[in-house]
Amino acid sequence: MYGYAGRILYVDLNTGKTRVEKLSEDYAKKYIGGIGLGMRLWLDNSKASVDPLSPKNPLVLTLGPISGTIFPTGGNGHAFVAKSPETFAIGEAVAHGTFGAEMKRAGYDAVIITGKADKPVYLWIDDDSVQLLDAAHLMGKSPSETEEAIKEDLGDYYIRIAAVGLAGEKLSRIACIINEKTRAAGRTGMGAVMGSKNLKAIAVRGTRDIVPAKSDEFMDMVKEFHERMKGPATQKYRTLGTPENVLVHNALHCMPTRNYNNAHFEGAEKVSGEVLNEKFVAKIIGCSSCAMRCEHEVVVPEGPYKGTMTRMEYETLWAMGPYCGIDRLDTIIKGMELANYYGMDAISAGVIVGFAMDCYENGILSQKDLGGIEANFGNSEALIQLLEKMGKREGIGDILAEGVRIAGKKIGKGAEKLAQHIKGLEVTGYDLRCLKTAALGFAVSFRGADHNRHGAYAFDVKGKVNRLKAEKGRGKMVRDMENLYALIDSFIVCKFSRGTYYKGLEDMAKLYSLVTGIEMTPEELNKSGERINTVARLINIREGLGRKDDTLPWKVMNMPIPDEGPVQGAVVTQKELDLLLDDYYTSRGWTVEGIPTAAKLKELGMDSLSKIVKGKQEA
């Protein structure tokens, strides 16, 4: 095979045994790689209702067919897939850097990790040699420290490592898996799944050549895309970066502020992308094979957090800033560094702090409950203190580390209503009350509240639709974007390069064919995108989710935007949500309950999975 390594590595942590199996060309073409292949392999290797933190929940690591090539951004991604301890639905998270390319050169398309080691270990994949090594000396270390220690242990500074921090070891449901210090497979708690297996890290060295099937035409395409990467499609990421969104969202009153109490932040000017770049950005770096650069490295130049260095993006800045009412960039940067240090999803971590502050201001959590912290909105010290407690699972941090849904239930007294999540996953930086295409995208997203499964906010933010209106037609828009985004995360290419595919799926199909030698048309590729979303839906149905779970956070449906301005009073009613869901399910060919029909599964070549929906397709 070209593009694909053609091999899947199975690691059983119960016995320490490993084996390699062939990747079938049928799976390759149908599920592509990345999250698509990962979800299908997870389904094949798991049983219904598995506890996410039990040894029986496989952790699947996947690469894409483009991984390891020079194609702009295509060489550098990897994905983790497992049942999520936050959503109890399918979980997945993608990260970039250099780890994925190294894993491909080691000769694998996927690694399926099952069981649980009897003591802490790390997995050392050295081409064909696969070993479990003692990790006792790594426990308690941050992902970054773990990386350094393993490089010393193994005596090779070019080894690539993905690791969990203390949050993963302590099974925090928002734990992530971090490679190369700042790159996180962040969402849905994949780090907790890894931690539950007593697996501290995965280290890899790969020495194989990667060769595309049609190399001359492939290199012509690379040249063309190198030019496109320098053009307008990527300009935002190369310059201000995603923090540009702060002022854009704030002007549109679509930036959730103080745990969704407002949609507009009076302190936005102080935490803007403009100020961040002027005062804090020290360097913008790139991942392996990128051909642009986007990773804004910030350094705090003065004050109590002087010298703190981390990567900064809009979502994490928003979560620890406006969402907590905090207008100090140095504190936000420190918060981000702490999230990386403990290995927590920084979006969820910020949203949880915002939730705790809301609970405090409403008298649901007292200063005593919080271990002495005065957690008013805007108290930047409280952000740092609460993040420390969450990272270590001390005091209130032990409950908060469960995520807002579970924490809300445990705290009670109405805290549930203050917990802004979908399917258990914390919200991201788009106020869904006034972005109704996005609201649909978030509601149906198979991994819970997230902008990265569809990017449907773009229609609303760019004014391509009336963002305050719920109407027919949005279902199809969300569906098409979901198909595309699933493909991007399966190839794996970077979403920041999506604008360089001028011809959309046609360009992507061409890339796929040139790398793999497997003929692929844009129509077939779109089917694969649909298939990947469908397999995710089937998993979630098997795990007991349905229409009832395709919903929105409590405040989005019950607390109209209070801020004076263009969207005052905006809210999503149940009637509007039902209209949007009906439209979306219809566009997908699913029943009114959101169940894919037998005919649809047949059309997608997924007949063998129809047993999952048997008896559920009526009505």
- As measured in angstroms, the least distance from the Cβ of 310 to another protein is 8
- As measured in angstroms, the least distance from the Cβ of 274 to another protein is 21
Q: Which is nearer to another protein, 2 or 10 (CB)?
A: 2
417 backbone dihedrals φ, ψ, rounded to 5°:
-70, -20
Q: Which is nearer to another protein, 98 or 516 (CB)?
A: 98
Q: Which is nearer to another protein, 90 or 333 (CB)?
A: 333
- As measured in angstroms, the least distance from the Cβ of 287 to another protein is 7
- As measured in angstroms, the least distance from the Cβ of 160 to another protein is 11
**Crossing angle of helices 346-361 and 380-392, rounded to 10°:** 120
Q: Residue type at 241?
A: G
Which residues contact another protein (rule: CB under 8 A)?
A: 68-70, 75, 98, 105, 158, 181-182, 207-211, 215, 219, 226, 229-230, 282-293, 295, 297, 299, 309, 311
Distance (Å, whole) CA 295 – CA 242: 10
Q: Cα–Cα distances in Å, from 166 out to 390, 405, 540?
A: 10, 21, 29
Q: Which is nearer to another protein, 228 or 447 (CB)?
A: 228
Q: Which is nearer to another protein, 220 or 506 (CB)?
A: 220
Minimal CA–CA distance to 347: which of 251, 428, 238?
428
- Match 């702060």 to its residue by tokens: 246
- As measured in angstroms, the least distance from the Cβ of 2 to another protein is 12
- As measured in angstroms, the least distance from the Cβ of 500 to another protein is 13
Q: Cα–Cα distances in Å, from 203 out to 122, 126, 137, 146, 200?
A: 7, 8, 15, 10, 10
Q: Is 88 helix (H, G, I), strand (E, B) or coil?
A: coil
Q: Which is nearer to another protein, 157 or 412 (CB)?
A: 157
- As measured in angstroms, the least distance from the Cβ of 282 to another protein is 6
DSSP string, 264-312: --TTGGGG-HHHHHHHTEEEEE--TT-SS--EEEEE--SSTTTT-EEE-
Cis peptide before 333 (omega within 30 of 0): no
- As measured in angstroms, the least distance from the Cβ of 209 to another protein is 3
- As measured in angstroms, the least distance from the Cβ of 97 to another protein is 10
265 backbone dihedrals φ, ψ, rounded to 5°:
-115, 120
Rg (CA), the chain: 23
**Two tokens at 603?**
């059309």
Q: Which is nearer to another protein, 50 or 281 (CB)?
A: 281
Q: Please, which residues have CB within 8 angstroms of residue 423's CB and are 6 or more apart in sequence?
A: 87, 89, 445, 447, 448, 449, 545, 549
Q: Which is nearer to another protein, 334 or 454 (CB)?
A: 334
Q: Which is nearer to another protein, 287 or 606 (CB)?
A: 287
